[in-house]
Amino acid sequence: ELKVEQNPLFLSMQEGKNYTIYCNYSTTSDRLYWYRQDPGKSLESLFVLLSNGAVKQEGRLMASLDTKARLSTLHITAAVHDLSATYFCAVDMGNYKLTFGKGTLLTVNP
Amino acid sequence: DVKVTQSSRYLVKRTGEKVFLECVQDMDHENMFWYRQDPGLGLRLIYFSYDVKMKEKGDIPEGYSVSREKKERFSLILESASTNQTSMYLCASRVGYGYTFGSGTRLTVV
């Protein structure tokens, strides 16, 4: 059974600081997704990583995938308040199932 | 852009009622999904469908059933609602590597 573990589950940051959210998964896969969710809202797709070594960047967020280590990271650079949200990683095993981590609640403080 | 529409944003139902949650997508996607989201547990897959009249159980199908009579519509059915089914329900559709989520239905069973 695939397990997807995110850490930390809670992250309080100061504006301007950098930090990384980690996503480990237990079974080989080369498809990993990152989503953002604002309170009371649906999931917004951030990144789709489809191969080992994939790196994608959008604004202050950068995601990477190491399929050998079964690890993806979401790096936040110079955080701003607008990045406050819950971030989920999800792994696609290719069997129509997307398995999610528990989410990381990010709070960026002024 | 793909739209996934969930017919109700909020629902309050009584224990024992039969409950229908409706989801419609407008892009002719073959794959559709129902997830349940609970605090601290992330999103968990209830059922998915890879074609009309085809359905597969996800990780937590107990107490739920689904119906897919037309390609664009995927319904989640709670045969006899219970208080432990109080949750946020998210529908999604997929084509290729892209998943699109609906805005969610917050169901409260009293």
- Give the nearest partner residue to A48 out of B35, B92, B97, using CB atoms: B97
pLDDT, tens digit (0-9, with 9 covering 90-100), for A26-77:
988 879 999 999 988 889 999 999 888 889 999 999 999 999 999 999 999 9
B79 or B1, greater pLDDT: B79
Q: Which residue of B has its CA nearest to A4?
A: B42
Check which CATH number belongs to the domain holding A33 and give it: 2.60.40.10
Give, as one character, the DSSP assignment of residue B86.
-
Reading the block at residue A103, the tokens are 């989410």
A100 and chain B: CB distance < 8 Å anywhere?
A: yes
Q: Tell me if chain A has a CB within 8 Å of the CB of B104.
A: yes
User: What pLDDT, in 10s, does the model give residues B54-67?
Assistant: 999 999 999 999 99
| Structural domain of B30 | 4-96
Q: Are A84 and A76 in contact (CB under 8 A)?
A: no
Q: d(Cα A41, Cα A88) in Å, to the nearest integer?
A: 13
> Domain for residue B106, yes or no?
no
R_g of chain A computed on alpha carbons: 13
In a domain, residue B60? The reply is yes
Neighbours of B79 (CB within 10 A): 12
With cut-offs at 50, 70 and 90, classify the pLDDT of residue A90: very high
Q: Could you give the CA distance from residue B9 to residue B2 in angstroms, rounded to a whole number? A: 19
Determine contact: A47 vs chain B, CB below 8 A: no
Q: Does A104 touch chain B (CB under 8 A)?
A: no
User: In chain A, at which residue ranges do the beta strands (DSSP E only) sit?
Assistant: 4-7, 10-14, 19-25, 32-37, 43-49, 55-58, 61-66, 71-76, 85-92, 98-100, 104-109
- Structural domain count, chain B: 1
Question: A50 is in which domain, residue-wise?
Answer: 4-109
CATH number of domain containing B23: 2.60.40.10
Q: Give the separation between CA B32 and CA B95, rounded to whole angstroms.
A: 9
